[in-house]
């Protein structure tokens, strides 16, 4: 039985602060004026700033264990948490106007977003099967509820239902895989113990089954094919502010889960899970890039683009090297910057009582707002992986990782798919630049949205020329370089 000192609460200070603040906001919110959730909004942002500072101060390359080793804080978790805070802050800032215009500016939004973040943080730091499950469920339940946030909207409710049912199924598979793993390893729950136990496992059938189930359960949240079916419907059905939330920070947490489970826990079963991931990557890249061409909805198109991006992230993981993991993390961080901008564009083009989800709504963006059009151009080329943007380096990183382990055919396949994918990004740019606007009115003047968009465009460009900083973060997370 661990005593109080071995609990070592300092490393989990951010989680404690967050849980406290989320509860506090929950309590304060009902006492605030009916309209405008300024206090909850301000407190949420304040919480994120506080978390950022605390995590930054605690950041160190040493591994910090708490709760008797159940919670682990290392460089990877520090960087992932910092990215999650920034990403969530961007989401909250951008969503503000959108929520207000649609009468969705309720305190629960902030509360759910923060509890979701708590789930992500637990997931990121989990070193124990149960804790992983706990974090995953806390994150997922918040996400289900947020998807259904627009209660009277049939599409959103349907999306939430779909998400919930499929998500529950995936959790069930994960749990079953974990229980098999528990059996195979002779009753180990701690990831480090599992790794030890597996080092002398001869590759039994039960282990293989556990590997497959755990891979399925953990890549579901990322939206890797063939477990991507929920993604288009949920992303399209959810209010755009929520889509923005779903598509950014949780991906970092899901990546963390994949790394913790597959690499930290089952690194010795690499030969078992690598082929599974290769199949998933091949499918993801094909589905993400080819099906996206057929979309007329910009929101759906971005969703399929997400499927292809997570396919690239998995490309880094399946390399099974530190270079590969850091490439995957780098790609994920780049993806978050790009996706924040991508879905942010929909917020920008949306008007009161009108959702700008179709590609047609992009028409003539260059005439309506040249600056935002340029940001859009950068984002699209970045997603396509063209140089001078961040996306190029992200693709280069994962390709390097894959070629580095000799899977050059997979790299060739990936680049062919990215050429196919380039088509729909180009088509989106065509709408924004080459077509005359159908609605010549100026775009949404909300400075919150514009500011974050401009920032994401700037990041894509500046990091596209000087990617060293971000690459450095990503590689330090895995102790490389």
Positions touching other proteins (CB under 8 A) are: 326, 366, 370, 374, 377, 381, 386-388, 392-393, 396-397, 399-400, 403-404, 408, 411-412, 415-416, 418-419, 422-423, 426-427, 429-430, 433-434, 467-468, 471-472, 475, 480-481
Are the beta carbons of 359 and 296 closer than 8 angstroms? Answer: yes
Distance between CA atoms of 364 and 433, rounded to whole angstroms? 6
Backbone phi and psi for residue 120, each to the nearest 5 degrees, phi listed first: -60, -40
Q: What's the closest the beta carbon of residue 469 comes to other proteins, in angstroms?
A: 10
Distance between CA atoms of 218 and 261, rounded to whole angstroms? 8
**Rg of the chain over all Cα atoms, to the nearest angstrom:** 21
- The tokens describing 401, both together, are 């990782």
Are the beta carbons of 12 and 71 closer than 8 angstroms? Answer: yes
- Of the pair 215, 317, the CB lying nearest other proteins is at 317
Are the beta carbons of 115 and 24 closer than 8 angstroms? Answer: no
- Of the pair 156, 323, the CB lying nearest other proteins is at 323
Neighbours of 271 (CB within 10 A): 10
Instruction: DSSP letter for 407, please.
Output: -
- The tokens describing 327, both together, are 């490439």
Q: What's the closest the beta carbon of residue 388 comes to other proteins, in angstroms?
A: 4
Q: What's the closest the beta carbon of residue 366 comes to other proteins, in angstroms?
A: 8
- Of the pair 229, 396, the CB lying nearest other proteins is at 396
Q: What's the closest the beta carbon of residue 433 comes to other proteins, in angstroms?
A: 6
Q: What's the closest the beta carbon of residue 389 comes to other proteins, in angstroms?
A: 9
DSSP string, 347-363: HHH-BTTB---BGGGGT
- Of the pair 354, 388, the CB lying nearest other proteins is at 388
- Of the pair 118, 386, the CB lying nearest other proteins is at 386
Q: What's the closest the beta carbon of residue 315 comes to other proteins, in angstroms?
A: 13
Give me the torsion for CA of 220, 241, 83, 462, rounded to 10°.
110
- Of the pair 288, 467, the CB lying nearest other proteins is at 467
Neighbours of 174 (CB within 10 A): 24
- The tokens describing 481, both together, are 């370089």
Q: How far is CA 288 from CA 12, 77, 338, 434, 466, in A?
A: 37, 28, 16, 25, 28
Distance between CA atoms of 117 and 43, rounded to whole angstroms? 15
- Of the pair 56, 426, the CB lying nearest other proteins is at 426
Q: What's the closest the beta carbon of residue 252 comes to other proteins, in angstroms?
A: 20
- Of the pair 51, 402, the CB lying nearest other proteins is at 402
Distance between CA atoms of 61 and 371, rounded to whole angstroms? 40
- Of the pair 21, 365, the CB lying nearest other proteins is at 365
- Of the pair 53, 469, the CB lying nearest other proteins is at 469
| HEC secondary structure over 265-293 | HCHHHHHHHHHHHHHHHHHHHHHHHHHHH
DSSP string, 247-264: HSHHHHHHHHHHIIIIII
Q: What's the closest the beta carbon of residue 391 comes to other proteins, in angstroms?
A: 12
- 226: cis peptide before it, omega within 30°? yes
Q: What's the closest the beta carbon of residue 280 comes to other proteins, in angstroms?
A: 21
Q: What's the closest the beta carbon of residue 36 comes to other proteins, in angstroms?
A: 35
């Amino acid at each position: 039985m661990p005593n109080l000192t071995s609990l070592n609460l300092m490393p989990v200070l951010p989680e404690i602060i967050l849980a406290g603040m989320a509860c506090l906001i929950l309590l304060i919110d009902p006492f605030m004026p009916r309209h405008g959730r300024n206090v909850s909004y301000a407190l949420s942002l304040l919480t994120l700033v506080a978390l950022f500072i605390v995590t930054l101060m605690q950041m160190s390359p040493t591994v910090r264990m708490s709760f008797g080793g159940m919670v682990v804080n290392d460089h990877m978790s520090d960087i992932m948490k910092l990215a999650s805070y920034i990403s969530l802050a961007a989401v909250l800032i951008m969503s503000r106007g959108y929520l207000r215009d649609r009468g969705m500016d309720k305190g629960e939004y902030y509360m759910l977003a923060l509890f979701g973040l708590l789930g992500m943080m637990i997931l990121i730091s989990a070193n124990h099967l149960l804790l992983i499950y706990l974090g995953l469920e806390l994150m997922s339940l918040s996400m289900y509820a947020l998807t259904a946030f627009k209660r009277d909207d049939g599409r959103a409710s349907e999306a939430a239902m779909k998400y919930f049912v499929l998500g529950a199924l995936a959790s069930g598979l994960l749990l079953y895989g974990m229980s098999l793993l528990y059996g195979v390893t002779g009753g180990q729950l701690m990831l480090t113990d599992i790794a030890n136990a597996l080092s002398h496992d001869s590759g039994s059938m039960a282990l293989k089954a556990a590997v497959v189930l755990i891979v399925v359960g953990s890549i579901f949240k990322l939206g890797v094919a063939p477990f991507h079916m929920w993604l288009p419907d949920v992303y399209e059905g959810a209010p755009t502010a929520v889509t923005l939330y779903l598509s950014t920070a949780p991906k970092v947490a899901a990546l963390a889960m994949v790394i913790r489970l597959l690499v930290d826990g089952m690194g010795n079963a690499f030969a078992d899970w690598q082929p599974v991931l290769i199949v998933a990557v091949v499918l993801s890249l094909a589905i993400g890039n080819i099906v996206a061409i057929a979309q007329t909805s910009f929101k759906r198109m971005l969703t399929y683009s997400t499927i292809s991006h997570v396919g690239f992230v998995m490309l880094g993981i399946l390399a099974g090297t530190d270079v590969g993991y850091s490439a995957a993390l780098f790609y994920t961080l780049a993806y978050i910057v790009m996706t924040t901008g991508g879905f942010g564009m929909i917020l920008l083009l949306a008007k009161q009582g009108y959702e700008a989800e179709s590609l047609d709504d992009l028409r003539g963006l260059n005439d309506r707002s040249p600056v935002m059009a340029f940001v859009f151009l950068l984002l699209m080329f970045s997603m396509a992986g063209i140089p001078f943007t961040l996306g190029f380096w992200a693709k280069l990183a994962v390709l390097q990782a894959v070629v580095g382990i000799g899977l050059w055919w997979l790299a060739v396949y990936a680049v062919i798919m990215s050429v196919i994918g380039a088509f729909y990004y180009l088509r989106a740019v065509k709408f924004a630049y080459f077509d005359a606007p159908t609605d010549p009115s100026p775009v949404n003047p909300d400075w919150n949205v514009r500011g974050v968009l401009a920032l994401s465009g700037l990041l894509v460009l500046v990091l596209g020329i000087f990617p060293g900083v971000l690459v450095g973060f990503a590689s330090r997370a895995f102790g490389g370089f």
